[in-house]
Structure formats: C-alpha cells, structure tokens
Amino acid sequence: MSESTTVLISEEDLQKRIAEIGQQIRADIGDAPVVLLCVLKGAFPFLADLSRAIPGEVLVDFVQISSYDGEKSSTGVVKLKKDHDINIEGKHVVIVEDIIDTGLTITHLRELLMTRKPASLRVAAALNKFEARTHPAQVEYIGFDIPNKFVVGYGLDYKERYRQLPFVAVLEGATE
C-alpha cells in the first residue's frame, strides 16, 4: 500500500476555530501582553495563526524539547534543546503546542516553566488525542479533539515531511 493522506480537518475549519481561541485568550488574560511560547517544530503554523488572532500586545518566543526514545521517556524529565529568550517572570504565558498525545511532554514542560514564575501559564494545543492520554494534562485551549490515529499536516510530520500542509490529514500506508 502506498502512502496517502485523507483530510481530517480542513484549512477553513482550522482557521475558524483559531480565531475563536484567539479571542478567548484575550478575554481570559485581559489587557496585559501575552507571551506565546511555541514548542518547535510542530507548532509553527499554529503559532503564526494564533499570534494574529489575539488582539492587542503579543510577544512570541520558541522552545525546543530534546526527544527521548520510548524507554527513556518514562523517566519524565523534559530537557530544553532550545530555551526561550524572553524573561517570563510576571508575564502571562501561553504554551503553543501542535498536539497533545500521551500528555507527558506538556505536563513536564508546564512544571519546568512554572519554576520561572510567570503571572499565569496556560496551554493551547491545535489538536488533542484524548484517547491516547497516559498522563493527566491540563490544557486550557484545544482546537480539535481527534481520534487516536497518526496525523500529519499543519506542522505535524512523518519523517519531517508534510509539515507544510494547511490542513490536518490522516496518514495511511506509511511504513514504520
């Protein structure tokens, strides 16, 4: 079977939902500047769209997490391969993630960032695989709940491919 993609969430539906989340974030945070912390690489399209959907002052910065192999991930320590530059102490921060799967990454990233004393810390995820959760994760803003299938597009990759697609698609026929 050759590799194929089937659209799961259209570009139009993504953009509509992100516009709502942007308004909601501004309503929740009030007039203060919002610091969006994009988790590289997968969250880059969501960061771009979300940053333009939040009225008022928005700052953007980036973190990248070093990935562990399957066995080591259970030790649960998140290490930053790239740290943010903006000092987040006393700031209203929103972590911008592509997808919440097991919940491990976001749980530990939240813990780490809390030690830096932001005024508030929230999580926005474009996609949520709620059936795959092994770690209870606090996620304030969810674009779409999706089934436990491997998806690509809108930043998500399979072997670094498909990130540029403006929609989310289920990938079929990929050889592991």
In sequence order, which residues have a C-beta less than 8 Å from that of residue 145 and are 6 or more positions away? 127, 128, 130
Among 100, 121, 123, 139, binds ligand IMP (CB under 6 A): 100
3-state secondary structure of 136: coil
Give the x-and-dash track for 66-105 against Mg ion (CB under 5 A): --------------------------------x-------
Q: Which is nearer to Mg ion, 49 or 98 (CB)?
A: 98
Q: How far apart are CA 89 and CA 119, in angstroms?
A: 7
Name which of Mg ion, ligand IMP, none residue 146 binds, using a CB cut-off of 5 to 8 Å depending on partner kind.
none
The three-state DSSP-derived secondary structure of 84-152 is: CCCCCCCCEEEEEEEEECCCHHHHHHHHHHHCCCCCEEEEEEEEECHHHCCCCCCCCEEEEECCCCCEE
Q: Is 69 a catalytic residue?
A: no
Q: Which is nearer to ligand IMP, 35 or 98 (CB)?
A: 98
Closest separation in Å from C-beta 6 to Mg ion: 22
- Span 14-73, contacts to Mg ion by CB under 5 A: 42
Q: Decide if residue 155 touches ligand IMP (CB under 6 A).
A: no
Q: Provide the 8-state DSSP code for 66.
A: P
Which residues are at the interface with Mg ion (CB under 5 A)?
42, 98
